[in-house]
Amino acid sequence: MQRYFSSQTYEESQQSALVLSGDDFHHSIHVMRMKAGDQCYLVFADQVAIIAELTEVLAETVSLREVSRETQEKELPVAITIASGYPKGDKLDLIVQKGTELGAYQFVGFPGQTSVVKWDAKKLNKRQERLTKIAKEAAEQSHRLVQPEVTLYSQMSEFMATLANYDHVLVAYEESAKAGEHGQLVKTLSQIKPGESLLAVFGPEGGLSSQEIQTFLGAGGSLCALGPRILRTETAPFYLLSAASYQLELLKNV
Amino acid sequence: MQRYFSSQTYEESQQSALVLSGDDFHHSIHVMRMKAGDQCYLVFADQVAIIAELTEVLAETVSLREVSRETQEKELPVAITIASGYPKGDKLDLIVQKGTELGAYQFVGFPGQTSVVKWDAKKLNKRQERLTKIAKEAAEQSHRLVQPEVTLYSQMSEFMATLANYDHVLVAYEESAKAGEHGQLVKTLSQIKPGESLLAVFGPEGGLSSQEIQTFLGAGGSLCALGPRILRTETAPFYLLSAASYQLELLKNV
């Protein structure tokens, strides 16, 4: 069943009729070919989700009525931010799409010292818009209550200035994997508490420089391996998010 | 450091000089631009890996000498087979590439009832060759000791006939995720023993039909959810493999 995000809170939505308009109107009627009587999910800005039924299709909007509330917990109990040193090609698209499905709370991009691509402010804005759209579509498809935000920094220093905002900072490090490190991820995921935030940092294809590693360590980050195999820059976030879900959503509930 | 697979066992390699030839010769000299004195990994058919040093570059081969054995365990303690109902486009490429990095032992494709693509025998052979090459390259890059095999079945019945070969069969099922099921994956990963095999089945985009689900259940399979979010057909195997690594390689070693 299709899922649409509203910019209103659930409370606000009660002040007037429920409608879909703009892109969501177009998608529901012209792509999904929905008709009166069909149902969809509506997700509000305060993470309330309802099942709604189409009551009437007008020229530019669709009217809906609430059928029931969605009660199942769909969001990870902790807010995980995936920070990627700019990788080549469209790998960031893949990271954002799959990372959203796997439960990431937000995405950050930064120019790593070994990043090959150099994006100017205009290009960064365009990329950020495109990635935000990818995150929105993946959030709808994967039944999320949150549309992850995407922030692309043009300077490493801007990104570093945000590190103090997070409760935990993990830095995925290839050399840790090679050295057989295996305790840090388990330690962090075992200690993190519901509602806390975790920043996970991933280098570009060429990895993080030793200077960058020192900077992250100096800012309170911990190095971690994601198993003994060497993962590509776009694959490592999938491992971290899946492990977090396994530890915090499956193991905790057994 | 680059990694090359040998078709010989380590024992066999001791009967003659160590060499790279064919594609690996080309790759080491023309792509990696390696010279005498440079080092690479050589992985033998019996999962022994060594660090080797180039001693001489000849017209069509490179001679090497053993420097040391690689001792770190790189393979999951259980053999996980990822079986995918044929998805659209090049999603199988992504599943095989990332699945290899994440430790899959082998890959299987089958025509699900909701699979849109229909591949004839010729097309399947070509696809299988291409996917085998993707697996080889990903195995080299991720420091594996195993090159996963890829088998594409033209009939569902051929695939079903192999189910009895596995110690455990899990079937990822969207309806289980929606119903909030969260125990089966933990149960299987907690009970599986080193050396055992696990088949994990994933439907195409349209999911597995109820008839297919019944068939898998009849053959001893268990339905499982991979967290509460709905994962795309190509994303779900990444979750399963990452969770297996977290449970069997990280948690077990703490």
Single out the residue in B70, B96, B114 at which a domain terminates.
Answer: B70
pLDDT of the residue at A129? 97
CB contact under 8 A, A235 and B239: no
CB contact under 8 A, B102 and A239: yes
Residues of B with CB under 8 A from a CB of A: 72-74, 98, 101-103, 141-144, 178, 180, 182-183, 185-187, 226-232, 235, 238-239, 242-243, 245-247, 249-251, 253-254
CB-based contact A248:A78 (threshold 8 Å): yes
Rounded to whole angstroms, the Cα distance separating A75 from A97 reads 16
- pLDDT higher than threshold 70 for residue A48: yes
**Number of structural domains, chain B?**
2
Between the alpha carbon of residue A185 and those of residues A189, A243, A244, A253, B233, the distances in Å are 6, 9, 9, 19, 26
CB-based contact A85:A202 (threshold 8 Å): yes
Q: How confident is the model at residue A38 (pLDDT cuts 50, 70, 90)?
A: very high
Alpha helices in chain A (DSSP H): 10-13, 22-26, 91-101, 121-141, 156-160, 174-178, 184-191, 210-218, 236-245
Is the domain of A99 the same as that of A221?
Answer: yes
* ipTM over the 0.95 cut-off: no
Pick from B152, B148, B153: nearest CA to B81: B148
CB contact under 8 A, B186 and A250: yes
CB contact under 8 A, A242 and B247: no
Containing structural domain, residue B218: 79-250
Is the domain of B175 the same as that of B226?
Answer: yes
Is the domain of B143 the same as that of B123?
Answer: yes
Is the domain of B50 the same as that of B93?
Answer: no
- pLDDT higher than threshold 70 for residue A200: yes
- pLDDT higher than threshold 90 for residue A174: no
CB contact under 8 A, B143 and A229: yes
Is the domain of B173 the same as that of B202?
Answer: yes
CB-based contact A87:A204 (threshold 8 Å): yes
Single out the residue in A70, A90, A112 at which a domain terminates.
Answer: A70
A148 contact residues in B (CB cutoff 8 A): none
Neighbours of B61 (CB within 10 A): 16
pLDDT of the residue at A206? 92
Positions in chain B whose pLDDT score sits under 50: none
Which residue do the tokens 């499982």 mark? B224
Is the domain of A239 the same as that of A156?
Answer: yes
Is the domain of B232 the same as that of B140?
Answer: yes
B117: which residues sit within 8 A by CB, 6+ positions away?
A: B86, B87, B88
CB contact under 8 A, A249 and B227: yes
Rounded to whole angstroms, the Cα distance separating A31 from A55 reads 18
- pLDDT higher than threshold 90 for residue A1: no
Rounded to whole angstroms, the Cα distance separating B71 from A247 reads 29
Is the domain of B214 the same as that of B238?
Answer: yes
Is the domain of A7 the same as that of A115?
Answer: no
Rounded to whole angstroms, the Cα distance separating A114 from A95 reads 18
Rounded to whole angstroms, the Cα distance separating B52 from B30 reads 18
Q: Which two tokens stand for residue A192?
A: 């993190």
Is the domain of A50 the same as that of A100?
Answer: no
B125: which residues sit within 8 A by CB, 6+ positions away?
A: none
B220: which residues sit within 8 A by CB, 6+ positions away?
A: B163, B164, B169
Pick from A100, A92, A102, A104: nearest CA to A152: A92
- β-strand partners of B82: B107, B200
pLDDT of the residue at B254? 63
Q: What's the CATH code of the domain at A108? A: 3.40.1280.10
Mean pLDDT of all residues in A234-250: 97
Is the domain of B49 the same as that of B100?
Answer: no
Residue B49 is given by DSSP the state E
pLDDT of the residue at A254? 63
Q: How confident is the model at residue A71 (pLDDT cuts 50, 70, 90)?
A: confident
Single out the residue in A49, A70, A91 at which a domain terminates.
Answer: A70
The minimal CB distance from A249 to the residues B182, B242, B254 is found for B182
CB contact under 8 A, A231 and B144: no
Is the domain of A96 the same as that of A146?
Answer: yes
Q: For A100-150, what is each residue's pLDDT tens digit?
A: 999 999 999 999 999 998 888 899 999 999 999 999 999 999 999 999 999
Closest-CA residue of chain B to A244: B243
A253 contact residues in B (CB cutoff 8 A): 182-183
Neighbours of B118 (CB within 10 A): 9
Q: What's the CATH code of the domain at A62? A: 2.40.240.20
pLDDT: is B148 or A1 the higher one?
Answer: B148
- β-strand partners of A202: A84
